[in-house]
Amino acid sequence: AGRPVRLRAKEFDLLMTLVEYKNIVLSREQLLEQVWGFDFAGQTRTVDMHVAKLRKKIEDPRAREPRFLITVHRMGYKFTG
């Protein structure tokens, strides 16, 4: 919406990874590997929680569906900006 948004470091890294692979679905495992690194012992819910926080910051709260961060059921996420 043309306004600045404050992102935490991992939110920024996640967004930049998704933007780099624009319109390509990345699995939660791929995102964990790309953003958190090979040795991250977290779970895929970590990705889900960060995507949810990121959506609150960059998506239009009045929209019925996300415009930029799309969930692809049983596959992962993609950025469509």
Q: What string of H, E and C letters represents the secondary structure of 26-43? A: ECHHHHHHHHHCCCCCCC
User: What's the CA gap between 27 and 2, in Å, rounded?
Assistant: 29
Q: How many Å from the N-terminal Cα to the C-terminal Cα in the chain?
A: 12
Give CA–CA dist 79/81, Å, rounded. Answer: 6
Give this prediction's pTM.
Answer: 0.88
Residue pLDDT tens, the chain, 81 long: 678 999 999 999 999 999 999 999 999 989 999 998 866 666 678 899 999 999 999 998 898 999 999 999 999 999 998
